[in-house]
Amino acid sequence: MAKEFRREMIESEILKLINMNISNLRDPRIQNKIISATRVELSRDKSFADVYISVLNGDIEEIIEVLTKAKGFFKSVIAKNVRMYKIPEIRFHKDIGIEESIKIHKLLNEISKDKGETDE
């Protein structure tokens, strides 16, 4: 129980630190982009942190590439702010949850429009 709570606290802190520091990257490919880390999953042995990224305007693949190149920067930020024996290796992934929810929302809107037209 206590270990699970500690893992959740570390995940939450890593998520906050990554979101706060994405804007500090100087790469022009991510300037003026709305990028958000949506969740962090820490492996059981705390050696890996899988960070899920969502992007509203821009190419997700390119942004993941930029963030992956900057993972040393994020690792040093985490090392300075989180007390851990070993800082986890960071792996960035695209979070398809938000994209999928937007698709579902659009489909529901189309269905309700179609239903409204058939009722008339």
Q: What are the tens digits of pLDDT across the range 17-72?
A: 999 999 899 999 888 888 999 999 999 999 999 999 998 888 889 999 999 999 99
96 DSSP 8-state letter: -
∠ CA(36), CA(18), CA(26), 5° rounding?
Answer: 85
Instruction: State pLDDT tens for residues 71-83.
Output: 999 999 999 999 9
**C-beta neighbour count of 58 within 10 angstroms:** 15
Instruction: State pLDDT tens for residues 36-45.
Output: 999 999 999 9
∠ CA(58), CA(60), CA(65), 5° rounding?
Answer: 115
Q: Which pLDDT score is estimated for 118?
A: 63
| Measured distance CA(1)–CA(9) in Å, rounded | 12
pTM of the complete model: 0.80
Where is 23: in which H helix or E strand?
none
